[in-house]
């Protein structure tokens, strides 16, 4: 359970993306893989700036090497994360991520309070739901919707006392 709670709490936001791209070790690894001068381009869909496709999903645009300077600046601004000055903290995605941590903790508390041997496998399956939540942005939202549906069904089983696991 701790591993899955950590997965939900780990920051995979714009500041982390910037930190990873601005890391000199990342650039050294890239330079070691190619001969000559390496010119990086970045395909991004910045929140609030990206155009949307017909499904309402953000479209990525290509940004040139100048983006490295923006990444370095953004990486230094990670101290804003979670504060009132965080420009990304008010997005629907970030609010959902914060709420999900609380929902998961409440779920685990409920499982532990009513755990019994016949439903142990079901409890383990419910606790592992965060493993299904992958990706970033609209990809993560799609996986989260599927995980929430699965979670809801498993919690119905839990609350009715059924030891059966969900069909895979």
User: What are the tens digits of pLDDT across the range 11-56?
Assistant: 788 899 999 999 999 999 999 999 888 888 999 988 778 899 998 8
φ, ψ dihedrals at 23, nearest 5°:
-65, 120
Residues 94 and 151 occupy one common structural domain: yes
Residues 93 and 43 occupy one common structural domain: no
Residues 92 and 59 occupy one common structural domain: no
Give the domain-ending residue among 29, 53, 80: 80
Residues 92 and 139 occupy one common structural domain: yes
Taking alpha carbons only, the member of 117, 92, 126 closest to residue 4 is: 126
Alpha-carbon span 129 to 154, nearest angstrom: 10
Residues 116 and 134 occupy one common structural domain: yes
Spacing of C-alpha 138 from chain mean position: 10
Q: What is the pLDDT of residue 20?
A: 93
Domain of 103? 2-8+88-159
Question: Is residue 24 included in any domain, yes or no?
Answer: yes
């Amino acid at each position: 359970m701790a591993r899955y709670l950590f997965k939900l709490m780990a920051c995979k936001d714009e500041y982390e993306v910037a930190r990873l791209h601005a890391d000199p070790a990342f650039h050294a690894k890239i330079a070691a893989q190619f001969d000559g001068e390496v010119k990086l381009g970045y395909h991004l869909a910045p929140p609030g700036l990206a155009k949307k496709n017909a499904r309402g999903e953000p479209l990525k645009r290509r940004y040139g090497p100048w983006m490295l300077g923006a990444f370095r600046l953004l990486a230094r601004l990670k101290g804003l994360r979670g504060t009132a000055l965080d420009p990304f903290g008010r997005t629907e995605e970030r609010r959902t991520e914060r709420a999900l941590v609380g929902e998961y903790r409440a779920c685990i508390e409920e499982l532990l309070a009513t755990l019994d041997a016949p439903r142990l496998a079901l409890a383990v399956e419910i606790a592992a739901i965060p493993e299904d939540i992958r990706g970033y942005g609209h990809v993560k939202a799609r996986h989260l919707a599927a995980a929430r549906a699965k979670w809801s069904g498993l919690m119905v089983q839990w609350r009715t006392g059924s030891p059966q696991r969900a069909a895979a």
